[in-house]
Structure 1
């Protein structure tokens, strides 16, 4: 493969990536300041919340007392120092940090703080690409203020609105800013230019590049390509032979820090979904009533999401994960696009009839796809479906 010459870089472009520091855990520490400096793990059921002692102090559950199949949602930096990270099984985390404090997840509160920090940033720099509950990209190209002063002003605004710290990197593109926001955490302020790529980016593991996943990372490692610098020095033909022409060209570009993706201030979702993992595997027959209630609740939540965001769905799908971790999905196309809970429930029933329910279920989800923007955002959820009784099959 012939490597194409690098394009001339637009030095006027400035893109920031702002990432909240240990977001969920940091929100919890605002509520429970006595836990600052301690290993804290977020991911337990709501019943694991702190209890008040007679003297008014709080009693917290410890990770060693956990029993179940849950996963760690996030952890404080003190818990990370003990090897506990997000997506790790809670039981494994308990082996590594048995004395860590355990707290339940509280998504409504996290979403509230997410709105607060994004509003604070938007008041200074409104060109924002929302990347999730705790991170955003910001196009700062139109701002005349020097990068360091502007980054500090954004950090101060976030702290003033939420009491929380964030890490921010400003660079010429989204790729470098995403990597850079991790370099000086927590409470980091990082500035990167293209000239910094050899010294600050090339020494990093190749997996630090967003878009190089576990499989690609393992393949690169098998080729002796461990760092971004190794990737930058790799023969183009070797990359094409192992990854194909398109991905090889992308690898060559990102190794040089090249990324021309714009900051997207508005994107249309491809689908909206709701799902839940159970505390215990549920039996299709013995737990029929509980499963039916959960599915009904998911469908009502999904309908509310659709109507709040102003969409109707032409496709409804279900997702089941069984006790053996086998995952099954089914979907159905509706005759008419819909956003009400009753229609979603009916479609989910049709999908369920196409699944052999011969094992206990550990996860259940409902998805709305093929979305049409037909309603005004902000409409409240319709009441249809709240009283619908659902049978699994």
Structure 2
């Protein structure tokens, strides 16, 4: 059996948000459950769970149990469309505070075994296991994967799937092949049999538009993409992306596992259940605005950053999106300062239509412990939505 020159793992939590909800409501195990929309004000009591049937609103699915996915619903689908496909599925609102808590737990458990970890989001990580599996053997890789799965389950009560391959591109692809609680190990010699029969869109980096274009050119599988002439791909997709498509189809990826990286920005945003009018719904907008700024300030504090540029994002009822930024005299992590700066950004936008989405962002980040936080040299004007 061919060895692994590098042992790179992609650990992906199984239906993460839904699985966290099942810890809270174990009586729902084995049922079609969809997570989406807002957290209820009061906790659900007994077995009186809402269903998708009759849902009305603009919410989207955050995640769903595998039983619900079998009915055709998936992440990113509108809840109203999901209600047509799976009217009897149970609908639970998202609880991101709980998901972040369990995210920290599973990452700490994995890092205790494999310190070379790259954080890729709330429910997935890359791990470089090469030093722990110096021979590059499949047996060694599987033993490590089992140890990681057991550690994650002990820390969280949740399951994860793990793909191990010579690089990150293949590892991520493999972690999705045997869900849930799967372990998939692929070496370079396995690519023709395990990878090439898969749809080309399974490669991370081939989005819906590129996949549709490839299909229009007669390429549906990764194998067909691998067989395509690189010059032909470059002619259709440009020199850089065309070459990347050829390399990816052959399983080539030299990216390292990045254990430390500085974020470029942090943001918070919300899509309203109904479009809000800048004047008629001013009080409700103000409450949302304040909460987003407080959440962004809390994110900055938790991650240890200050932001010097504060941004505002607005999406109107006609789906037009505008952004505005303001650079401050000194970096800040104060929610009141963030709110004032974002309010000043809003003053530069004609507010003539109802608002569908509101977001705030902090960029030009610096480490909180690297410099003292300075106050403004001059007071800002009163903010919008006050």
Tell me the TM-score normalised to structure 2 length: 0.92
Counterpart in the other structure of 1:385: none
CA distance in 2, matches of 1:126, 1:41: 34
Once the two structures are superposed, the pairs formed by residues 132-171 of structure 1 within 5 Å of their partners are 132-144=121-133, 146-171=140-165
Summarize deviations over 1:30-81 as a string: whole Å, max 9, x none: 22111111100111332387643xxxx3211111132111001110011000
Q: Does 1:43 align with 2:32?
A: no
Distance change (3 Å), C-alpha of 1:317 and 1:178: same
What residue number does 2:49 align with? 60
Match in the other structure for 2:207: 213
Contact 2:341 2:383 in 1 (8 A): no
How many residues are aligned here?
374
The residue aligned with 2:361 is: 367
The corresponding residue for 1:4 is none
Instruction: Confirm whether residue 84 of structure 1 aligns to residue 73 of structure 2.
Output: yes
Q: Which residue of 2 aligns with 1:337?
A: 331
* Counterpart Cα distance in 2 of 1:350 and 1:106: 31
> d(CA) in 2 for partners of 1:51 and 1:22?
21
Root-mean-square deviation (CA), in Å?
Answer: 2.2
Tell me which stretches of 4 or more aligned residues in structure 1 moved more than 6 Å.
none
1:349 & 1:339 partners in 2: Cα distance?
16
> Structure 2: how far apart are the matches of 1:206 and 1:329?
34
Equivalence for 2:136 = none
Secondary structure, aligned partner of 2:131:
coil
> Does residue 272 of structure 2 align to residue 278 of structure 1?
yes
Equivalent-residue separation in structure 1 for 2:330 and 2:59 (angstroms): 38
Cα distance per residue 1:249-296 (max 9 Å; x no partner): 111111110101000111100111011111111111111121122112
Question: Alignment partner of 2:9: what SS?
Answer: strand
Q: Structure 1 residues 41-50 or 355-364, which shifts more?
A: 41-50
| Residue of structure 1 equivalent to 2:82 | 93
- Alignment check: 8 A CA contact 1:48 1:102 kept: no
| Alpha-carbon distance in structure 1 between the residues aligned to 2:29 and 2:306 | 44
User: Residue 146 of structure 1: SS of its match in structure 2?
Assistant: helix
Instruction: Call closer, same or farther: CA 1:86–1:308 in 2, change over 3 Å.
Output: same
Distance 1:252 1:198, change over 3 A: same
Q: How does 1:244-259 map to 2 (within 5 A)?
A: 244-259=238-253
Structure 2 residue aligned with 1:6: none
Is 1:34 the counterpart of 2:27? The answer is yes
Gaps of 5+ in 1: 1-8, 383-387
Given that 1:43 and 1:70 are in contact with CA atoms closer than 8 Å, whether structure 2 keeps it comes out as: yes
Task: Spell out, residue by residue over 1:134-159, the C-alpha distance to the aligned partner (whole angstroms, 9 max, x if none).
Answer: 11100000013711111111111111
Query: What is the TM-score with the length of structure 1 in the denominator?
Result: 0.90
Cα distance in 2 between the residues matched to 1:217 and 1:264: 28
**Is the contact made by 2:4 and 2:165 (CA closer than 8 Å) also made in structure 1?**
no
